[in-house]
Amino acid sequence: MDKKTAVKSVYKAVKILELISQEKSLTVPEISRILDLPKSSTYEIIITLLSAGILEKQHDTNAYHLGPKLVEFGVRAQENLEVRRISRPFLQDLNRELDETVHLTILDDDEVLYVECFESTKSLRTYSVIGVRAPLYCTAVGKAILAMQDRDEIERIILKSGLKRYTENTLTSKDKLLKELKITAERGYAIDDIEHEEGVRCIGAPIFDFSGNVYASISISGPTQRITPEKVPGMGELIKKVALNISKKMGYSPL
């Protein structure tokens, strides 16, 4: 399938989903007639959406309605919008207090996705990376999330990521990384000690949702000459406190 054809197919799929969401349930002939699409291509798109859990079939009527996967997408989208809205004033206060760059990330497909940033006003600083993805195992925001997963999930992600080396400090040994994640979970905040980017040290903490799951994190990042090892414990406790306050606003109730 060429690029133009693929784009057209995606557009048709979106139009089909919009129509079904309005009409609740429809058969292939009905969808084909209303959207003026060939029955054959309509059926192919429907079957693809069905296999992905995006649609479900009512076998007594041969009609299709929206499936559970869309509910999952909707919940995730709502959570992501909500955590960004709730986090903004906390991140702004943290940014003003420390005058270092602060980030908010969400867990997405075994990576962190940067969704919010407030930059330092200092000339030497880290910059906004909104929309950028990064590994879990070598970033403070990533390790803050990864450390809170169960052992099987951690090992699955380690196997998938491959522990690529970014700097001399990147932990490429599974045993060393597991030890670091255990310390991170006990401490309550994560440290990227020049592991992802040269000359940059970051401190991150997890954000919990109402059910106690970790799906987002925040971080402070800056040049190593300002975020020194001596400052890390104090900054770590501060960012942990801020992350906990955000979590509480998200409905989290610590034991």
pLDDT tens figures, 151-209? 999 999 999 989 999 999 999 999 999 999 999 999 999 999 999 999 999 999 999 99
Give the residue-averaged pLDDT of 67-86. 75
Give which of 231, 207, 211 is closest to 219, Cα–Cα.
Answer: 207
Rounded to an integer, what distance in angstroms lies between the CA atom of residue 80 and that of residue 74?
10
Give which of 84, 148, 77 is closest to 117, Cα–Cα.
Answer: 84
pTM value is: 0.72
Q: Give me the count of residues in the chain.
A: 255
For the chain, percent of residues with pLDDT exceeding 90:
64
| pLDDT for res 78 | 61
What is the C-alpha radius of gyration for the chain, rounded to an integer number of angstroms?
22
Give CA separation, 184 vs 59, 132, 250, in Å.
Answer: 50, 24, 22
Domains belonging to the chain, first-starting first, are 3-66 (1.10.10.10), 72-249 (3.30.450.40)
Lowest mean pLDDT among 37-41, 66-70, 154-158, 182-186: 66-70
| pLDDT for res 107 | 92
Q: How confident is the prediction for the chain on average, in pLDDT?
A: 90
How far from chain centre, in Å, is Cα 230? Answer: 30
Give which of 227, 247, 220, 225 is closest to 93, Cα–Cα.
Answer: 220
